[in-house]
Amino acid sequence: MTRPDPAYPANDDPTCIVVDWGTTSFRAALVTQDGRTLDRTETPEGIQNIPDRSYEPVLMRALGKWFVAHGPLPVLALGMITSKTGWVEVPYVTCPASPADLAGGTISLELSNGAPLIFLAGLTDPARKPYADVMRGEETQIMGFGLDRDTVVILPGTHSKWARLRGGAIDSFQTFVTGEIFALLTQHSFIARSAGPASGKTDWGAFQRGLDLTSAADGTADAFLSLLFSARTGMLFGHLSAGEVRDYVSGLVIGHEFREARSQDWFTAGDSVGMVGNDGLNMRYTKAAQTFGLSVIDGGENAAVLGAIALIGGLSRGKLGPA
């Protein structure tokens, strides 16, 4: 499903347009059947910046040149544009969800030029405690990773997701707000005040020190709210420099996500897990996985596009008639 059909060899004809339309930005990519991006565009026309919900003119203006060049290609839209505050609220599809379930959950409109506009559905896991969990967009990335292996897939991010694939469906998933906590700590907390300016270069040694603390068996890491204070005491007593503390904290929080995921039975040491690239976090998450005894199946960088194409394929054989 993630691989191009060999009957249609790769070429440079675009097959669809994928639009990631969020709260503060509009991003679109013109993509080929085999998942390559031929062209892209980005504007600050996020849904909160569009008066009177006049979405269609914005979309047509942004995509117009592609329609002129290639005709009324199907447009797949995901992100907050599919939420209550967006163009069309697409109800969540419920786990376990197959590609057919996800395709069946889409909502389609016809644009003024006759191009189909397909809003993708998010996913909900009603079994999660205390409340059902949700994702919007990651389910498309998981489809791009492929559902043909029974495995766990990690999607690092501001709100990381761990998903279990089973029998060709997304069986269940869980969210961890790791990236958000890291950002809060390093932008607004006592750690922000003592850290040096971000150098843009990762101190992998400091990162690994944080990771190792979270994987230790002595129980210290069971107290996350306490472990975070070690960023201060480490600096106070000269064990951590201002230049190290940011990556040390990154190791603490990402490592804690793995520790918690293990406690929730997402893995045991020796397992292999899939990882779908996001936000430049792959290397950190791969090191964390290794620290916890996992091997990693790399899901590549363009899983979202591949997932969107797979959805288009499913839709082409269904609702939209043959391609």
Decide: is 134 part of the binding site for its own copies (CB under 8 A).
Answer: yes
Question: Least Å distance between CB 85 and its own copies?
Answer: 12
Range list of β-strands (E), 159-259: 160-166, 169-176
Site for its own copies in 135-174 (CB under 8 A): 159, 174
Q: How remote is the C-alpha of 31 from its chain's centroid?
A: 19
Tell whether residue 115 is a contact of its own copies (CB under 8 A): no
Supply the minimum distance, in Å, between the C-beta of residue 98 and its own copies: 23
Candidates 69, 132, 198, 323; binder of its own copies (CB under 8 A) is 132
Q: What angle do CA 75, 91, 43 make, to 5 degrees?
A: 40
Residue 103 interacts with its own copies (CB under 8 A)?
no
C-beta of 229: minimal distance to its own copies in Å?
4
Contact 316, 323 (CB under 8 A): yes
Q: What are phi and psi of 155, to 5 degrees?
A: -120, 90
Say how far residue 256 (Cα) sits from the centre of its chain.
19
Q: Quick check: 49 binds its own copies (CB under 8 A)?
A: no
Contact predicate 112/64, CB 8 Å: no
- CB-count exposure of residue 108 (10 Å: 0-12, 13-18, 19+): middle
Q: Which of 40, 239, 317, 319 binds its own copies (CB under 8 A)?
A: 239
Q: Which is nearer to its own copies, 177 or 297 (CB)?
A: 177
What pairs with residue 173 in β-bridges? 163
Q: Give dist(CA 104, CA 174) in Å, integer.
A: 23
Which residue from 24, 43, 49, 264 is in contact with its own copies, where contact means CB under 8 A?
264
Asked if residue 80 lies in contact with residue 86, where contact means CB atoms within 8 angstroms, the answer is yes
177 sits near its own copies (criterion: CB under 8 A): yes
Q: Which is nearer to its own copies, 54 or 85 (CB)?
A: 85
- Whether 254 and 284 have beta carbons less than 8 Å apart is answered as yes
Q: Which of 14, 59, 117, 133 binds its own copies (CB under 8 A)?
A: 133
Which residues ranging from 213 to 232 are in contact with its own copies (CB under 8 A)? 213, 218-220, 222-226, 228-230, 232
> CB of 284 within 8 A of CB of 156?
yes
Binding site for its own copies (CB under 8 A): 128-134, 159, 174-178, 180-181, 184-185, 187-190, 213, 218-220, 222-226, 228-230, 232-234, 236-237, 239, 253, 256-257, 260-261, 263-264
